[in-house]
Amino acid sequence: MKKTLLLIAVLALGACREETTGGAVPPGFDNFAMTAAERADCMARGGTVGRGGMSPAEICIVPTKDGGKSCTRASDCDGHCLAQTKTCSKTEPTFGCFGTLTESGERADLCVD
């Protein structure tokens, strides 16, 4: 029984990895880091530096002015009008697959990597 618990603990610890979004640049990705000026500009706009999608490059993730506000079409939002919740996206860019509402209010599925 003790050997089984030890094996489970070792496997669980082996699955741990360092969080890289918004943290230190992972080894080998130095050339994808933002410059100090780019970081300062991002922070001045209220953004955070992180990674998103499939790119290893650091990006500026900025809160939208109307995040969480109700919407019925694309032009109601600075970012995306999210189809599932009918609210404006809280940050830009938005990554992953999600439904948006078009200008005519129809659902369009979008995947951003």
Domains of the chain, by residue range, sit at 31-62, 64-113
Residue bearing the bigger pLDDT, 61 or 25: 61
Q: How far apart are CA 81 and CA 72, in angstroms?
A: 7
Q: What is the pLDDT of residue 27?
A: 62
Q: What is the pLDDT of residue 96?
A: 93
The stretch 54-72 carries a mean pLDDT of 95
Contacts for 70 with CB less than 8 Å, ≥ 6 apart: 76, 86, 87
